[in-house]
A and B are shown apart, each in its own frame.
Chain A
Amino acid sequence: MATVTRSREAALGWIVGAFEHPTRHAPDVSTAELHRACAAGALTDAGLGFADVDGYFGGRDVPGSNVSWLIDYLNIRPRFIDSTDTGGCSPLAHLMHAADALASGRCSVALITLAGRPRSEGMRTGTAPRPGEPERPDSPWELPYGQTITTLYAMMAARHMHRFGTTAEQLAWVRVAMSQHARHNPHAMYREPVTVEQVLASPLVAPPLRRLDCCVISDGGGALVVTRPEIARGLRRPGVRLVGGGHTLHGSAGGYFELTTSGAVVSGAQAFAEAGVKPRDIQYASIYDNFTVMVLMQLEDLGFCAKGEGGRFVQDGQLIAGAGRLPVNTDGGGQCNNHPTNRGGITKIIEAVRQLRGEAHPAVQVKDCALALACGPGGSVSNGHSHATVILERV
């Protein structure tokens, strides 16, 4: 069957509102209220109100068995609802789906929210097995081994080191770059810059991964407002539009999968083809950084460098804004800034929007930033991870 390439015009959705909640610890606020506060922030940013919203997009972080309860809580009246959930990359998928719904006339003002409080709830995100789901088809075969997110990513890192000679120092450079960016973010959870030596001196959690290879656990959230070009032009915000997107699942394929490859191979190729651009055209990239190794794997799989060259690509400060070849996660990323409700997808889009608007911190703002990429996985290896990539353009 031939692949149908969607026209660029059909894919257009303009992001007119973007908001990242300043909290990183919210023990006294409900999750529903965090969603509301994020929605209000993004709508204010857009110059719109709750009454204007006629499309809602949210994932499993929305409290309740489905998104209905939050929609009722907000008292909005959507005529289009999407609750796609593929883990941490869900907001990237929501952005693509919002663009499609806008283009087809299903809605005019799309609201995407993400929020949660794993830090206040004492969740051991990376080092405790997740509650089992007996009906899940892999549960009889994988659940009793008690794998955690960190041990699975540690095996990816071990394999990448074995195959390509990637070193712990190279992984550390990812953390160093994020920490250099977080210095300038007053809301970042960890604002203290770290050196390669400090990363390597941090305790091993699951070899070869150390504590400073892992992202933060934070409360908070974010929201986006997406609309059609004709509405966007009447608002006061600088124009940022979606020009390409891809979404996939990189599964266990019956046991014949490669631990050192991410779904970015597929989602990235689709996004680049749809946008009609190449990796070398990208001026800023938000790369999901739940673990340092995931950043260099995605850079390879997106085509920023050859497979196996990720370590050399990121070393010596090459991801630091103003110093390196590709500024990545200029808000400090999940490593140092924020990973609200264990889902980095929305903060990845928000920092890309800041860059394209010229509203990033002056110390990390990419000069004349016109084209940016945001991407990330959801879930983890073995039983399959999803992956989504979007490419955004300044209008």
Chain B
Amino acid sequence: MDTLLDMHRQAVLAHPSSQPFWDAAREGRLLLPQCAACGRHHWYPRTFCPLCHSSRVRWQLASGRARLHACSGLLRDPAQTVLAFVELDEGPLMLTHLVGRQLAGWQIGDELQVSFRALETGLHLPVFRARETEAV
């Protein structure tokens, strides 16, 4: 198995509180931690709110919508992975991958929708693709 993905599997096991996220991801749903005290979402997930330090944090179903903040990728990478920071509609920036286009096809501000990639570890990883314009 890919060393990085095996390390990721170990990381998930080392953070038991992350399990609901991965369970939802398997079903194609993106959960975000939201604070019941201040109402804000944060990323990466913690068991407390890093913004107000309340411990009243719960998993909430996210819109899955985001906007491209910045992206890049190694041109020599055979997989042509596009790494990105996306700004989730709920507020925080998230490190992720973009799928469906080559690096040169993306522009800051592009509207995005979450998607999930099944990894060989059995975990499902959130990635983002271009959001289809809704028909009027």
Contacts and interface: CB of A to CB of B under 8 A. Distances in A.
Contact of B72 (A132, A206, A255): A206
B91 A255 contact: yes
A132 B8 CA distance: 8
Contacts of A207: 72-73, 75, 103-104
B95 A254 contact: no
Contacts of A138: 44
B82 to A, nearest CB: 9
B8 A140 contact: yes
A148 B77 CA distance: 11
In the A-B complex, the 7 residue pairs with the smallest Cβ-Cβ separation, listed nearest first, are A255-B92, A132-B7, A139-B11, A254-B42, A154-B72, A255-B43, A141-B44
B94 to A, nearest CB: 7
A369 interface: no
Interface string B1-45: 001110110111111001000000000000000000000111111
B96 A162 contact: no
A207 B75 CA distance: 8
Nearest to A154: B72
B93 interface: yes
Contact of B70 (A144, A158, A254): A158
B50 interface: yes
B97 A151 contact: no
Interface string A142-186: 111111101110111011001000000000000000000000000
Contacts of B123: 144
A279 B71 CA distance: 33
B83 A134 contact: no
A146 B81 contact: yes
Interface string A232-263: 00000000000000000000111111010000
Interface of A: 127, 129, 131-148, 150-152, 154-156, 158-159, 162, 203-209, 252-257, 259, 382
Contacts of B3: 131-132
Chain B: number of interface residues, binned into ranges: 35 or more
B46 interface: yes
Contacts of B49: 254
A214 B81 CA distance: 20
B44 A143 contact: no
A143 B93 contact: no
Contact of B44 (A142, A146, A155, A205): A142
B95 A142 contact: yes
Given A144-B125, A151-B74, A155-B71, A254 B92 contact: yes
Residue of A208, A254, A256, A382 contacting most chain B CB atoms (<10 Å): A254
A144 B122 CA distance: 13
Contacts of B18: 140-141
B108 interface: yes
Interface string B97-120: 100000110001000000000010
A205 B123 CA distance: 30
B58 interface: no
Nearest to B19: A140
B95 A382 contact: yes
A14 to B, nearest CB: 41
B51 interface: yes
A390 to B, nearest CB: 29
A71 B5 CA distance: 37
Contact of B74 (A133, A158, A206, A254): A206
Contact of A127 (B40, B76, B108): B76
A140 B72 contact: no
B69 interface: yes
A140 B44 CA distance: 9
A151 B73 contact: yes
Contacts of A151: 72-74, 83
Contact of A158 (B75, B95, B108, B119): B108
A145 B95 contact: yes
25 contacts: A132-B4, A132-B8, A134-B7, A134-B10, A134-B11, A134-B13, A134-B14, A137-B15, A137-B46, A138-B44, A140-B8, A140-B11, A140-B12, A141-B18, A144-B123, A144-B125, A145-B125, A150-B74, A151-B72, A203-B75, A205-B74, A205-B76, A255-B93, A256-B92, A256-B93
Contacts of B76: 127, 205
Given A155-B71, A206-B72, A257 B7 contact: no
B83 A147 contact: yes
B58 to A, nearest CB: 15
B123 to A, nearest CB: 8
B7 A206 contact: no
